[in-house]
Amino acid sequence: MSLFSHHLHSIHVPHHKDTASFESVEMPVPEKVYISMSQHIGRPCQPLVKKGDHVLVGQLIGDIDAPVSAPIYSSVSGDVTAIETDRSALGGMDTYVVIASDGKQEKAEGLEPPVCETKDDFIKAVRASGVVGLGGASFPTSVKFNPANLNEVDTFIVNGAECEPFITSDHRNMLERTDDIVNGIKLIIRYLGISHMYIAIENNKPDAIAKIREAVSGIPECQVHELKSTYPQGAERVLIHEVTGKTLNAGELPASVGCILSNVTTVMVIGSYFRTGMPMVSRNVTIAGNAVTNPGNYIIPIGTRYCDIIDFAGGYKNQPRKIIAGGPMMGKAQSSDGSVTVKNTGAVLFFDETQSWDIDPTPCINCGRCHRACPFGLMPKEYAKAYKNGDAQRLKDIKVMECMNCGSCSFVCPARKPLAFLNTLAKSMVKEAGL
């Protein structure tokens, strides 16, 4: 039975889209980049270069022969100074290729737009571009575009919702890179045989809606779908329901309901790769928060340290108290500004003490707001209770694994309990119990 046959819950969060009107600015190449080999879901890439090698922009420096993977390319020209390991923000150990830039940005040889005749050619080219899900999930796009039941897929949803507060990089791409987005759309329709293409955009971006709508007006399979500006509209299961009315249950792939979804910037990268032959080596990143002197949208080489970005953005206006990769609802707090950008870094937020503060939780008053705020009608209060009791079976029975950690429950909780974080711990408990 569907958890949300007729209606999905949502919440209203402050948008803080203060950088939406800021045109994207290309950041100069930093002195060094630290390119992670773990930039997609699945097995990490293996470095294909060694210390002392000279590399060029767009040169393949990491790959792995695994079904779920995506190659990694150098974002600068220069010399490899180290292959090192360090702990990531998620607690695991990552391998990094460290490259000292020579400032020349010389391109690798043989970077030509791919020539495709078949669907298989297209899938191979998408993989070669290095693109992954750029809305946050980092799932290799070539795998997503090639489900086992592709012949049953008739609907493609381009996710331009960008529902997280502060982030505006997708918005700017829709305004500034419209041609590449349209090119990507045409390629997807042609090679995947899509009959219904929707570009879903929240209605707080009227300029993007207008520009994209005009740009796709000559593509009969394609139309813009306006979304309400509520959170979490951009979530996969929510978006499918909002656009098509279909229900995607937890654990199912979108292709099971005849859909494929992809972030609008992912589609843009595909369009750009087929135009230029340059794989993914940089991306547009929103830099925001009241600790930043010059917030904005910056085109940044992959592997750039946050501290180098801040230097380019005028330094710190105030001492940062919290640094978040991504949005404030689902992003990951970072231990320092020595962290580096990866393919799916759509934003980095720098909050001072006035935007980031600790509030001690108070006892639950059983108000039910967390349940009402959950898009899928789940029960965060009960998850917290079962987790405290160490009851993994209870957690499984009341469907904690269906939580997508959107953070809506924590946002509305008057007791300020870290419900979303507890949900994450609860899901880990179920997995560790082997249930």
Asked whether residue 40 carries a pLDDT value surpassing 70, the answer given is: yes
- pLDDT at residue number 87: 77
Residue 397, CB-side half-sphere exposure with 13 Å CA sphere: 7
Q: What is the band of 136 on the pLDDT scale with cuts at 50, 70, 90?
A: confident
**Can you say how many angstroms the Cα of residue 409 is from the centroid of all Cα atoms in its chain?**
21
Closest CA to 164 of 322, 376, 16: 16
**Can you say how many angstroms the Cα of residue 362 is from the centroid of all Cα atoms in its chain?**
33
- pLDDT at residue number 90: 60
- pLDDT at residue number 395: 96
DSSP H or E stretch at residue 12? none
DSSP H or E stretch at residue 415? none
Mean pLDDT of 94-105: 97
Rg (CA), the chain: 21
% of the chain residues with pLDDT over 70: 97
Do residues 39 and 342 lie in contact, with contact meaning Cβ atoms separated by under 8 Å? yes
Asked whether residue 284 carries a pLDDT value surpassing 80, the answer given is: yes
- pLDDT at residue number 4: 41
pLDDT tens track for 142-163: 999 999 999 999 999 999 999 9
232 CB contacts (<8 Å, ≥6 apart)?
A: 10, 163, 238, 329, 330, 375, 404, 406, 408
pTM: 0.94
Amino acid found at 178: T
Tokens of 175: 């305004």
Q: What is the rounded distance in angstroms from the CA atom of residue 327 to the CA atom of residue 96?
A: 24
Q: What is the rounded distance in angstroms from the CA atom of residue 82 to the CA atom of residue 50?
A: 7
DSSP string, 290-345: TTBSS-EEEEEETT-BHHHHHHHTT-BSS--SEEEES-TTT-EE-S-TT-B--TT-
- pLDDT at residue number 2: 38
Domains of the chain plus CATH, in order, are 119-276 (3.40.50.11540), 369-432 (no CATH)
Tell me the pLDDT of the chain averaged across its residues. 94
Helix axes 264-276, 178-192, angle to 10 degrees: 90
Backbone angles phi, psi at 372, to 5 degrees: -70, -30
Amino acid found at 134: L
pLDDT tens track for 232-253: 999 999 999 999 999 998 889 9
- pLDDT at residue number 93: 85
Do residues 111 and 278 lie in contact, with contact meaning Cβ atoms separated by under 8 Å? yes
Q: What is the band of 5 on the pLDDT scale with cuts at 50, 70, 90?
A: very low
